[in-house]
Structure 1
């Protein structure tokens, strides 16, 4: 996990705190070992609890609604999806000086998708099937999408993207990034119905077992909106033939492809200045995604 505080208002945690929280609220698990999980995730600190459970503690107040959202929607979505997703088993309350609600989940085994997929084209098929199934799920009753949230029109992200590119200065090719963004920004907007989307399909949120995609985690950005948002893996997971396979499996037209590339660029340039000195794993991921986006820009 990042060794330094990533957010100004971040609440730091450790294994001792988790043991106290579990002992006080879930005594049936009090004797299970607690082990921190090495991750470049930004919203939650995660700990193994024994062999079959994990504890997730929000780092910041903005992440505290994720568990509520997952508890409501994931049990409804799980039977419809071809990959495993998180199963929440308990909710803890603020205590021991920790200010937020926290959650216990079933442990999902696997490594993240950074270089661990044995067959990228097979993974492209598997992930496309997951996205297709999620899109087909009934969105009735879904929460209202807020301005600038995942699946929004790219125009709502324009100010942040330009600000981030300026902040990065000569650390990136700002002119190329801006040209790519402009191309995506001016692509025809999504005119179809809003659909379910994960919103944060980064390599760290994809689990791999025995070389194959096995689970999708971290549904904190679960939303309804433009399905192009979930095309981000084309640039943060796939490349070359596997990227084309991913596109073909989802039958993506040129406009959606450009919007998806815009979402990948937005994620990368937003993350880079914010986490530059605090989260090297996120910087590696975002740098790779931005490289792929700029390499791909100008051709579809």
Structure 2
């Protein structure tokens, strides 16, 4: 999926675990088939997950990122009724793997990419409850750091131009350009940053019986535009559950439209970037764009 992507085998993981965490030496190692794009994931026994960054970067930067991820996980743990991974350990390079790696608790459930909860109104209520719970966490004076999604929409113009250019053979780019032209100028409401998960996509959401069973990849937790976590409405929900989600959160029109813009920005990158290397992720982006375009068609119809 990425240039110079690292390869991680079960044999490598076995060697790393046996050497660095002998208390887990007798637990089986199982590779997890995931649509994720950041880490290779392996189970250690039934209750532990090991995550190995796939992109080769400087060791110190990777270690700092994993330490920040663990701190975010500790900050979120227990703040909502929905389970989130808890950090257990930080592994070191070795046994043919050149980077630090992380160990956390394994959460039961099926990712929403495999068990679609989109038609479940109950899931829509659950997702709204999670977003509200995250927003209630004290920012402790922190504000958006200026990288990635969560600040000024217009700072993503260069990336969107790249996405449009790379998507000419895949999508109705003229129409999508017009949509972004309207979205990028949406003003930021006069509200402070709130804590957000920042990546509520199907691969990061666990489902059981049509209900929210847990949330994964919590390392992006941080202060951002309150509209940012509304991306889950478009990545995960059909019309009825989406209305329930919005009603529970009490979103006004501006916040809702900005949430659509963040979902659009994310989905545009997924379609072309993963078209060949991760088709499931690319399809997720297409479905999100389809939902956004369908909504745009309904709201733009002239009234009689």
1:3: which partner in 2? none
1:129: which partner in 2? 129
Asked if 2 retains the 8 angstrom alpha-carbon contact of 1:43 and 1:63, the reply is: no
State the alpha-carbon separation in 2 of the partners of residues 118 and 239 from structure 1: 5
State the alpha-carbon separation in 2 of the partners of residues 223 and 43 from structure 1: 18
Distance change in 2, residues 1:63/1:269 (3 Å): farther
Asked if 1 retains the 8 angstrom alpha-carbon contact of 2:124 and 2:237, the reply is: yes
State the alpha-carbon separation in 2 of the partners of residues 154 and 63 from structure 1: 27
2:39: which partner in 1? 44
1:240: which partner in 2? 239
State the alpha-carbon separation in 2 of the partners of residues 22 and 9 from structure 1: 24
Give the 4+ runs in structure 1 shifted more than 6 A: none
Residue 122 of structure 1 aligns to a residue whose secondary structure is: helix
1:99: which partner in 2? 98
Asked if 1 retains the 8 angstrom alpha-carbon contact of 2:118 and 2:236, the reply is: no
2:139: which partner in 1? 139
1:179: which partner in 2? 178
Q: CA RMSD in A?
A: 1.8
Asked if 2 retains the 8 angstrom alpha-carbon contact of 1:81 and 1:133, the reply is: yes
1:83: which partner in 2? 82
2:48: which partner in 1? 53
Residue 80 of structure 1 aligns to a residue whose secondary structure is: coil
Asked if 2 retains the 8 angstrom alpha-carbon contact of 1:134 and 1:196, the reply is: yes
1:249: which partner in 2? 248
Distance change in 2, residues 1:119/1:238 (3 Å): closer
Q: Which runs of 5+ in 1 are unaligned?
A: 1-5
Distance change in 2, residues 1:57/1:127 (3 Å): same
What displacement does 1:64 show?
Answer: 5.3
Normalised TM-score (structure 1): 0.92
Q: Which runs of 5+ in 2 are unaligned?
A: none
Aligned residues: 294
Q: Which of 6, 20, 23 is matched with 2:18 structurally?
A: 23
Deviates more, 1:92-101 or 1:196-205: 92-101
What displacement does 1:74 show?
Answer: 2.2
Normalised TM-score (structure 2): 0.91
Say if 2:150 is the partner of 1:155. no
